[in-house]
Amino acid sequence: MPALITKEFNPIKDSNQLLPMDEAARMKRAEEMGFNRDVYHGTTQEIEEFNLDLANPESDLGSGIYTTSTFDDANLNYSNIDGQDLTQKIELRAEQLEETYGDMDKAREAAKAELYGGVDEVLKLKARVQNPAYVGGDKKTFLELNQREFDAEDYLDEAKNTTSLDVNDFNNTADYDAALLDEANELGIEDSYNFEPEGKLVDLMESIRRQAGSDADDAISTIYNEAVDGGIDADRFIEIVKESDLAYYEMIDGKNGTNELIRQAFQDAGYDGFIDQGPYNKWGGGSGRKEFMEGINEDTEHIIPFNPNQLRSKDAVFDPSKIDSADLMSSLVKILNGYV
Check residue 189 and give its pLDDT: 80
Residue of 331, 312, 208, 199 lying closest to 260 (CA atoms): 208
Q: What is the 3-state secondary structure (H, E, C) of 199-211?
A: CHHHHHHHHHHHH
Q: Which residue has the higher pLDDT, 113 or 2?
A: 113
CA–CA distance, 176 with 169 (Å, rounded to integer): 8
Give SS3 for 51.
Answer: coil
Cβ burial, residue 146 (10 Å; 0-12/13-18/19+): middle
Distance CA 124, CA 141 (A): 27
Task: From 60, 234, 227, select the one nearest 136 (Cα to Cα).
Answer: 234
- Does residue 209 surpass a pLDDT of 50? yes
As a whole number, the mean pLDDT across the chain is: 87
Local confidence band at 192 (pLDDT 50, 70, 90 cut-offs): low
| More confidently predicted of 290 and 255 | 290
pLDDT at 179 over 70: yes
For the cut 50, the answer to whether the pLDDT of residue 158 exceeds it is: yes
Out of 77-91, 175-189, 274-288, 324-338, least confident range: 324-338
d(CA 197, CA 241): 20
Please determine, for residue 211, whether its predicted confidence score (pLDDT) is greater than 60: yes
Residue 245: predicted pLDDT: 92
pLDDT over threshold 90, residue 196: no
The whole-angstrom separation of Cα 312 and Cα 40 is: 11
Beta bridge partners of 68: 40, 302
What separation, in Å, do the N-terminal and C-terminal C-alpha atoms of the chain show?
Answer: 12
User: Is a pLDDT exceeding 50 seen at residue 2?
Assistant: no
Burial class (CB in 10 A: 0-12, 13-18, 19+), 139: exposed
The pLDDT, as a whole number, for residue 31 is 96
Contact 43, 121 (CB under 8 A): yes
This prediction has a pTM of 0.79
CA distance 30 to 34: 6
Q: What is the pLDDT of residue 339?
A: 26
Between 193 and 210, the more confident residue is 210
Look at residue 17 in the predicted model and tell me its pLDDT.
59
126 strand-pairing partners = 38, 312
Choice between 172 and 12, residue whose per-residue pLDDT is larger = 172
CA-CA distance, 213 to 194, in Å (whole number)?
23
* pLDDT above 60 (res 335): no
Report domain extents, the chain. 3-81+116-137+271-336, 82-115, 142-146+196-268, 149-192
Split at pLDDT 50, 70, 90, the class of 283 is very high
Q: How confident is the model over 72-90, as pLDDT tens digits?
A: 999 999 998 888 888 888 8
Cα separation of 40 and 125, whole Å?
6
Closest CA to 117 of 79, 70, 156, 164: 79
Helices 217-226 and 200-212, packing angle to 10 deg = 170
Task: Find the mean pLDDT for residues 113-141.
Answer: 93
> Per residue in 37-47, pLDDT tens?
999 999 988 88
pLDDT in tens, 21-32: 899 999 999 999
Pairing, β 121-127 against β 311-313: antiparallel
User: Is 66's pLDDT higher than 90?
Assistant: yes
Segment 322-330 long-range contacts (CB within 8 Å, at least 24 positions apart): 322/6, 323/33, 326/49, 326/50, 327/48, 327/49, 328/47, 328/48, 328/49, 328/50, 328/123, 328/125, 329/48
State the DSSP string of 197-264: EESHHHHHHHHHHHHHGGGGHHHHHHHHHHTTTSEEEHHHHHHHHHHSGGGG-B-TTSSB-HHHHHHH
Over residues 236-243, the mean pLDDT reads 97
Question: Does the structure show a pLDDT above 80 at 337?
Answer: no
Determine the pLDDT at residue 11: 36
Segment of 74-88, 158-172, 204-218, 324-338 carrying the highest mean pLDDT: 204-218
Q: pLDDT-derived band of residue 155, with 50, 70 and 90 as boundaries?
A: confident
Q: What is the pLDDT of residue 195?
A: 64
Quick one: pLDDT band at residue 54, thresholds 50, 70, 90? confident
Kindly tell me if the per-residue pLDDT of 10 is higher than 50: no
